Structure 1
Amino acid sequence: MASSALQRLVRFVPRSSPSKILIGQPADKDIDVGAALRQGQEVAVNVWSGSSVLSPGSSTGTTETIDRILSPLAQNEIGTIRCVGLNYRKHAAECGLDPPAIPVIFMKPATTIVDPWPARGTIPKLSQVDESGDYEAELAVVIGKTAKNVSEAEALDYVLGYTAANDVSSRTQQLNQSQWSFSKSFDGACPLGPTLVLKSLITDPTKLHMRGLKNGEVYQESGTDDLIFSVPKIISWLSQGTTLPPGTVIVTGTPAGVGMGRTPKDALRHGDEFAVEILPHIGTLTNIFENEKSSFMTKLYHYLSSALMNQPDLVLKLDDPETIQKISDFTGGIGLKATIVCTSDDAASDWAAQRLQPRGILVAAGFPERGLKFDPMNLILREIFVKGTVHGSMGETREMMEFAVQHGIRSHLTLLTMEEAEDIAAKSEAHAFIGRPVVKIGMH
């Protein structure tokens, strides 16, 4: 690592440039980043040159203010999240179970990762039916270098740092099956962050204090010394015969006080706020939870949001008279590498396609009631690769947006009319998220 002074890292969108994602160290070494942002305070960050907490680079000497906080790791850096169940003695007792003899392991996909507040946690439809959604405050470990067949004695050498997580679960589905992954793998079921504290600052992960607060009331509280299997034991166990690459997230278990163990039982409901507080150093992870919505618009929002969080290198409005010149200047006159089009405006769609460079990628995300129309000859002559069809069904749109994210498309342009952007925001009930990036770049 470039400097021993680097102890805490955050990943964020700066107020000065909402099209960028930066990493850096909070300027105030003692600030609880998550709590401060939730209270409306400004948080200054000393920016580092790297693009990932896995390779932070060096200090740039500049300071930025957080506009939006992100999880410490992007979904494409994480792979599969390893989780440990029944790993606190008092939690095993509240479940009426004996402490396990070996670690109970399950996995969550990277699609469960959710940024800290203001990003929303999601209660899936399966949990809404019988109010079986539940929270789990947990300590998360991030692996910093490739680990395989490591011993307990050397396990902490492979740790990059620690952060907070919420292992959101659907209890009915969990108890109906012998395997837990399905019940804990819904989209948005693993809020993570906001601060990654490096192991140089947390030398003993058994000396942390954790609380889980639902709507401001303490529901979970424990020291990490109640862990059945220590962090070194967990890392060593998971690495036997298995490679843990850098960026691997290990969620280490939850203490007593989960909703399922309370009398009467409690559940996560629409509008609930849950906070995971781990002290010292890590701070608070907060999310407000909302019911998963059944509409196409919800799917569109999540995948459009994911694409935007990869951040376009260029954000434009069609009514800007300098738009074409800006594209030319930005691309050296050859056009954009890829464009994500999400609009029912045929003129805007065709306009975007024409600004692609030869053999560019057109990701077409249409609406279910109608499709997108392009000049086929223009696309064929320039060998434009079109991902998707003009029908724009929900499944196709999901595939298209995933394609953009998975292929790391960065030179892209997202187009919506103002009316469409406002309609999406209204139907998704997520003005704070889709409203800011989408309406801001919509055309008038």
Structure 2
Amino acid sequence: MKLYTYQAPGGVDRLGVGYLDAPGFLWPVEAFGLPFADMNDLICHADKAALDRLRDRGNASEGPLALDSVRLRAPIPRPLQDLMCLGINYADHAVESARFHQDAFLVDRKKATYFGKRVFEATGDGDAIPSYTGLVDGLDYEVELGVVLGKDAKNVPEDKVYEYIFGYTVINDVSARNLQTEHNQWYFGKSLDGFTPMGPCFLTADEVAFPPVLRVSSMVNGETRQDSRTDHLIHGVAEIIAELSRGMTLRAGTVIATGTPSGVGMGFTPPNFLKPGDVVTCAVEGIGEITNTVE
């Protein structure tokens, strides 16, 4: 199933559930008698019985809403913690990154590169990406598979990682390349408000074989820029979560962005960065797509 955060008329965030055999519709979660406050509450407190109840739309006390009749928010508009992100996690992206700025993008490391991304409020499908004229020179897009944990994880072996995954989503890891390179670290250049488009939903983990092998792609103004699959990750989902959980507790609701393939703006010669008016669409197979316009 797919889980959404949406706004109905009145502007109040509500939770919805959708089904793969009923595309284009969602059912309000409260119609199932499950009054979760928000997505973080659902992830942290929904037990198996509650999730099973949601999986059967026959349990709903009211009919569905059309997706195009509501405003979709990011599935977790305000994550409980910074996103945990992977850098240089596709071999072809490593090549284009080094070509752009070899000092800022060290590509010969054997171990995974992790960094944090501050998220004041995640951006929903259809919302704008700010361009920050005067601050940002080199606005870039990065489509990524996002993984969200369903329970606290610590010292998890790789063969048990799947038991901790709640679901998957689409993330556009928007980046200010000048800030990323000038500061010799990535946190600032990744963390400006509006730099985390996410959605359109969470696809629950039971809908995807593990490890996930899904197509990831992006388009700018209708032109395909990125097109790869998650089996090309250098460090896979099981390795990432097992390593990060060694000695560090990953809380339920943690969102991990697994890295982006080649085709980002800095990979072009000369670089082809985003500008106001550009329309960016990021998609992951089976989950859906998010489209945002640069303002």
Q: TM-score if structure 2 supplies the norm length? A: 0.84
Q: Quick one: distance in 2 between partners of 1:44 and 1:218? A: 27
- The answer (yes or no) to whether the contact 2:217–2:224 under 8 Å persists in 1 is yes
Show the counterpart of 2:245. Answer: 239
- The answer (yes or no) to whether the contact 1:90–1:226 under 8 Å persists in 2 is no
Q: Quick one: distance in 2 between partners of 1:100 and 1:155? A: 24
What SS is found at the alignment partner of 1:221?
strand
Show the counterpart of 2:132. Answer: 124
Correspondence 1:93 to 2:95: yes
Unaligned runs of 5+ in 2: 31-35, 55-59, 99-105
Measured after TM superposition, the shift of residue 126 of structure 1 is 4.8
Show the counterpart of 2:33. Answer: none
Show the counterpart of 1:160. Answer: 166
Given the alignment, which residue of 74, 77, 81 partners 1:74?
Answer: 77
> Relative contact order (C-alpha < 8 Å, sep 6+): which is higher?
2
Which has a greater percent of helix? 1
Measured after TM superposition, the shift of residue 273 of structure 1 is 0.8
Given the alignment, which residue of 27, 30, 38 partners 1:46?
Answer: 27
Q: Which amino acid aligns with 2:245?
A: S
Correspondence 1:64 to 2:62: no
- The answer (yes or no) to whether the contact 2:162–2:210 under 8 Å persists in 1 is no
RMSD: 1.9
Given the alignment, which residue of 111, 134, 139 partners 1:102?
Answer: 111
Given the alignment, which residue of 276, 280, 284 partners 2:282?
Answer: 276
Given the alignment, which residue of 173, 177, 182 partners 2:179?
Answer: 173
Correspondence 1:214 to 2:220: yes
Q: Matched residue pairs, number?
A: 266
What SS is found at the alignment partner of 1:139?
strand
Residues 188-221 of structure 1, C-alpha deviation per residue, up to 9 Å, x if partnerless? 1111111210110012344100111001100011
Residues 303-362 of structure 1, C-alpha deviation per residue, up to 9 Å, x if partnerless? xxxxxxxxxxxxxxxxxxxxxxxxxxxxxxxxxxxxxxxxxxxxxxxxxxxxxxxxxxxx
Q: Which amino acid aligns with 2:70?
A: D
Show the counterpart of 2:148. Answer: 142
Measured after TM superposition, the shift of residue 10 of structure 1 is 1.1
Show the counterpart of 2:101. Answer: none
- The sequence identity of aligned pairs, in percent, is 34
Q: Quick one: distance in 2 between partners of 1:98 and 1:113? A: 29
Matches within 5 A, 1:304-343: none
Change (3 A) 1:101 1:112: farther
- The answer (yes or no) to whether the contact 1:211–1:221 under 8 Å persists in 2 is yes
Q: Which amino acid aligns with 2:95?
A: A
Residues 80-132 of structure 1, C-alpha deviation per residue, up to 9 Å, x if partnerless? 11111000111112223545311111111121521111x1111223554x3x1
Q: Quick one: distance in 2 between partners of 1:109 and 1:8? A: 25
Q: Quick one: distance in 2 between partners of 1:127 and 1:103? A: 29
- The answer (yes or no) to whether the contact 1:112–1:185 under 8 Å persists in 2 is no
What SS is found at the alignment partner of 1:161?
strand
Show the counterpart of 1:26. Answer: 18
Q: TM-score if structure 1 supplies the norm length? A: 0.57
Q: Quick one: distance in 1 between partners of 2:3 and 2:253? A: 14
Correspondence 1:288 to 2:278: no
**Whose radius of gyration is greater, 1 or 2?**
1
What SS is found at the alignment partner of 1:114?
coil
Measured after TM superposition, the shift of residue 44 of structure 1 is 2.4
